[in-house]
Amino acid sequence: MDALGGLRNSTIFNYIRDYLTFDQLIWEFGDDKNPDWVHVSYSAKFNRNEILKSVKENGKTLYKKML
């Protein structure tokens, strides 16, 4: 799936990861090449720079840490 402007969601995810400050960055579902969407949060006080990937296991959404 492409984001607004024709950019791939993976391009947006990688840009945020590499160049911006964030609290959480989540690769939401999709496959190993492109997420269905990207979740990003920011805190004015403290950012954890936590990178996660959401997956479905046994009907439940799990958030796994990415390197």
Count the domains in the chain.
Answer: 1
Residues 32-64 have pLDDT tens digits of 999 999 999 999 999 999 999 999 999 999 999
Residues 7-38 have pLDDT tens digits of 999 999 999 999 999 999 999 999 999 999 99
pTM for this prediction? 0.87
Going by the DSSP 8-state scheme, the letter that residue 58 receives in this structure is T
In which domain, by residue range, is 38 found? Answer: 4-65
Tell me the HSE value of 9 on the side-chain side, using a 13 A CA sphere.
18
Which secondary-structure segment (H or E) carries 51? strand 50-57
| Residue (of 32, 31, 30, 29) closest to 63 by Cα position | 29
State residue 5's pLDDT score.
Answer: 76
